[in-house]
Chain A
Amino acid sequence: MKSNRREFLKLAAVSAMGIGAARLGFLGDAPAFAESVPTAANFEEGLKAKHWGMAIFTAKMTPEMNAKCRKACHTEHNVPDIAGPKEIKWFWGANFEESFPTEHGHYLSEEIEHRQFPLLCNQCETPMCVKVCPTQATFQRPDGIVMMDFHRCIGCRYCMAGCPYGARSFNFQDPRPFIKSFNPLFPTRMRGVVEKCNFCAERLAIGKLPVCVEAAEGALVFGDLSDEQSDIRKALREHFAIRRKPDAGTSPSVYYIL
Chain B
Amino acid sequence: MLEKALKGSPRYWGTLIALGLVMALGLGFWLYQLTFGMKITGLNRDVSWGFYIAQFTYLVGVAASAVMLVLPYYFHHYKEFSKMIILGEFLAIAAVVMCLGFIVVDIGQPQRMLNVLLNATPHSVLFWDMVVLNGYLFLNIIVGWTSLQYFKNDMTPPKWVKILAIVSVIWAFSIHTVTAFLYAGLPGRHYFLTAIMAARFLASAFCSGPAILLLLVLCLRRLTGFDPGQKAINRLAVIITYAMCVNIFFFLLEVFTSFYSNMPGHIAPFKYLFTGIDGHDMMVPFMWTAVVLGLGCLLFLIPTPIRQNPTALTIGLIMLVIASWIDKGLGLLIGGFTPNPFETVTVYSPTVPEIMISLMVFALGGIVLTVLWKIAIEVRSEVEGGNLSMVPPPAAE
Contact = CB atoms under 8 A, between A and B. Distances in A.
Given A85-B346, A193-B109, A164 B49 contact: no
Interface string A166-187: 1001111110000000000000
Contact of A154 (B36, B109, B341): B109
Contact of A134 (B36, B48, B121, B264): B121
A99 B340 CA distance: 12
B116 A169 contact: no
The main secondary structure of chain A at its interface with chain B is: loop
Nearest to A94: B342
A239 interface: no
A136 interface: yes
A102 B124 contact: no
B107 A171 contact: no
Nearest to B36: A173
A123 B186 CA distance: 17
Interface residues of A, number: 50
Nearest to B189: A161
B121 A136 contact: yes
A165 B45 contact: no
Interface stretch (A48-56, A62-70, A108-116, A242-250): A242-250
A165 B342 CA distance: 7
Given A156-B126, A171-B108, A135 B121 contact: yes
Contacts of A85: 44-46, 346
Contacts of A249: 187
Nearest to B340: A166
A152 B119 contact: yes
Nearest to A245: B188
A154 B112 contact: yes
A161 B186 contact: yes
Residue from A155, A165, A250 having most chain B Cβ neighbours under 10 A: A155
B127 A157 contact: no
Interface stretch (A8-16, A36-44, A125-133, A211-219): A125-133
Given A164-B188, A248-B188, A157 B49 contact: yes
A157 B343 contact: no
12 contacts: A85-B45, A134-B115, A134-B119, A135-B118, A153-B109, A154-B107, A155-B112, A161-B48, A163-B341, A172-B38, A173-B37, A191-B108
10 closest A-B pairs by beta carbon, nearest first, are A155-B108, A164-B188, A192-B108, A85-B44, A160-B48, A166-B341, A101-B343, A98-B342, A134-B126, A172-B39
Interface of B: 36-39, 41, 43-46, 48-49, 106-110, 112-113, 115-116, 118-119, 121, 123-127, 130, 182-183, 186-189, 264-265, 336-337, 340-344, 346
